[in-house]
Amino acid sequence: MSIKQFVFLIFCLLPLLMFLSGCNEDEPVPAKETLLKIRFNHKVNGNNLITDSMIYTNAAGNPYEVTEIMYFISDLKLYHHDGRIIEPATWDDIHYTDTNIPETFEWNVGNNIPEGVYDSLSFTFGISEAKNKSFMFVNPPEVNMAWPEVLGGGYHYMMLNGWWNDTLGIRRSFNFHLGIGQIYANNSGEVGDITGFVQNAFTVKPDGASFTIDAGKTHHCILIMNVESWFETPVIYDHNHFGGAIMQNQDAMHIGCLNGADAFAIEWE
């Protein structure tokens, strides 16, 4: 073999040698993210919610059915056993859930959550005053949750819609809607008499044992709304007393907020 042929052979083999050399090096393995996923479920008296069927009776004795539930939760906080408060949903801190849209039943609330034992978690039901700004949603379904500007603006915290049978057995619709309340001069209920607004968003710490976050794993929990709680604990709510629409009735919405504080529970999968 001539020198010229040898040089040509080396030139041809050099890329192959470099490739094989690179394959032998240990390539870094991407670290697994530590994730938390929340799945939403809705129950009545311990059983999965059945919509569009007059099969329930609340603590006030009202036969009722639920047609749909739409709501926001936000500002999720995880309480680490060492005293740290972790807020994992930095870029997606407002979640919309709709019983008509299964795609809304899961919330990926963040990654790289610090490992360790956590005592509890909490969230805001609705949207806090600082964040509840009109026109921040431009697409459905969230945009359909707009709260009227004259009643305080921003967005509904919840629309729980359905039907109940009144004392005469007449089927009547109810819109159990929570959002910003109003204060009226002389309790008139007239928009022109509004003298102030009430921020009704509230903090929920669901029932559920402490939990552990392990590094590099995906953790799943179920957030259960116990629908009957909106109408019975700690205050018995009577549709016959408050009627079908409560957006301008702060007394009714206040009871909803009190009852909603214990309407949720957590189960870990």
Lowest-pLDDT range of 8-17, 25-34, 235-244 = 8-17
57, part of any domain: yes
5, part of any domain: no
Read off the amino acid at residue 253.
Answer: M
Band (pLDDT 50/70/90 cuts) for residue 2 is low
46, part of any domain: yes
Cα angle 135-140-144, degrees, rounded to a multiple of 5: 65
Nearest of 246, 215, 248, 210 to residue 231 by alpha carbon: 246
32, part of any domain: no
Residue 170 has pLDDT above 70, yes or no: yes
17, part of any domain: no
Domain count, the chain: 1
Domain that holds residue 46: 40-268
1, part of any domain: no
Nearest of 76, 73, 95 to residue 86 by alpha carbon: 76
Per-residue pLDDT tens over the stretch 8-21: 444 444 444 444 44
Band (pLDDT 50/70/90 cuts) for residue 6 is very low
What are residue 66's DSSP bridge partners? 162
> Do the strands 218-226 and 35-44 form a parallel or antiparallel pair, or are they unpaired?
parallel
Place of tokens 């949903």: 89
Residue 138 has pLDDT above 60, yes or no: yes
Band (pLDDT 50/70/90 cuts) for residue 197 is very high
- pLDDT at position 3 is 52
4, part of any domain: no
CA–CA gap between residue 1 and residue 247 (Å, rounded): 95
13, part of any domain: no
